[in-house]
Amino acid sequence: MAENNSGEGEALHRCEKNIMLVCRESKNGRTIIKVGNVEFGGSTLVVIAGPCAVESEEQILTAALAVREAGGNVLRGGAYKPGTSPYPFQGLKEEGLKYLNEAGRIVELPIVTEVINEKTLGYALKYVDIVQIGARNMQNFSLLKAVGQANIPVILKRGYSATINEWLNAAEYIMAEGNDKVIFCERGISSFETATRYTLDISAVPVIKSKSHLPIIVDPSCSSCVNKYIIPLAKAAVAAGADGIMVEMHPKLQDALSDGMQSLDRSQFLELCNQLMAIEKVTKTFC
Ligand code: PEP
Ligand code: MN
């Protein structure tokens, strides 16, 4: 076929001045972030799962066993929950971090938790392998700088009102402080649509991949906030080239203290893992 010389390529791929560390052209090849035996941005899909919030020692351990059994790679659990409303469960705080750490050690999976300010980052660094900056803190610049000074992989969720450019700049804040282990996480953006709580921006996957060398994962739980849409959205993300998926999974959905409606139960999570494995095989053939 004749070369398509649309002229768009050069402008699109030129490294933008403000994201010189995050942009694709700043290094040869893509960044692979290793956490234990798990590789973000490598050749296999990473599946992160666990409850929205750590609720008890028993709950997180039961969830951890289910994550491992289904073939998940990383255990999640929130100990500090920055809810839209101040009234729902706000997390067990350091006690939750201890239970999460214990469960992770028992099932031998790396663990991730959300940090909401510099103080909680200090606690999290003692207990977890990866920290998460939530959508509501994507432009908390002092937190971004603090995480940038810590030597720990970071999942940087997209703010639901943030453009991709603002998100790339948030990642630059972290990298500019010396931490190059940044993983983007698309989790849905605000739109006029009300059938789902947020609108999953699948375009973010190929756009981030063309603009940055960093890995990108997708959270289909937080984006739809509807149990029955999680599996189809996760499959769409993988087909679009996401490096991983983060889903909320609760061993007893009806008792969940946080985000039960957007969590999978154990058998649904197993089903998701089986379906993702099948898709991964197909996408590998084509990519
Ligand atoms: C979460 O992962 O539990 C969460 C609060 O996510 P987000 O920041 O995307 O809303
Ligand atoms: Mn949640």
DSSP character for 69?
H
Q: How confident is the model at residue 7 (pLDDT cuts 50, 70, 90)?
A: very low
Ligand 1 lined by 134 (C-beta under 6 Å) = yes
pLDDT at 20 over 70: yes
Residue 4: its pLDDT value, please? 47
Residue 286: its pLDDT value, please? 66
User: Tens digit of pLDDT for each residue in 236-264?
Assistant: 999 999 999 999 999 999 999 999 999 99
Indicate the residue type of 17: K
C-alpha closest to that of 81 among 128, 136, 157, 123: 136
User: Tens digit of pLDDT for each residue in 123-175?
Assistant: 999 999 999 999 999 999 999 999 999 999 999 999 999 999 999 999 999 99
Do residues 193 and 180 touch, judged by C-beta distance below 8 A? no
Q: How confident is the model at residue 14 (pLDDT cuts 50, 70, 90)?
A: low
Q: Which residues contact 84 (CB under 8 A, 6 or more apart)?
A: 136
Beta strand 216-218 pairing with 244-249: parallel
Query: Alpha helix locations (H) across the chain?
Result: 8-13, 57-70, 94-107, 118-127, 141-149, 164-176, 204-211, 220-224, 227-239, 266-286
- How far apart, in whole angstroms, are the C-alpha atoms of residue 75 and residue 72? 8
Residue nearest to atom 4 of ligand 1 (CA): 134
Indicate the residue type of 266: R
3-state DSSP call for residue 189?
strand
Residue nearest to atom 6 of ligand 1 (CA): 134
The per-residue pLDDT of the chain, averaged, comes to: 94
Ligand 1 lined by 78 (C-beta under 6 Å) = yes
Between the alpha carbon of residue 243 and those of residues 84, 186, 192, 240, the distances in Å are 28, 11, 28, 10
User: Tens digit of pLDDT for each residue in 27-58?
Assistant: 999 999 999 999 999 999 999 999 999 999 99
Between the alpha carbon of residue 202 and those of residues 78, 199, 238, the distances in Å are 25, 9, 10
Ligand 1 lined by 91 (C-beta under 6 Å) = no
Q: Report pTM.
A: 0.94
Tell me, in angstroms, the distance from the centre of ligand 2 to residue 186's CA.
14
Q: Give one DSSP letter per residue of 80-94, joined into a string.
A: S---SSSSS----TH
Share of the chain above pLDDT 70, in %: 93
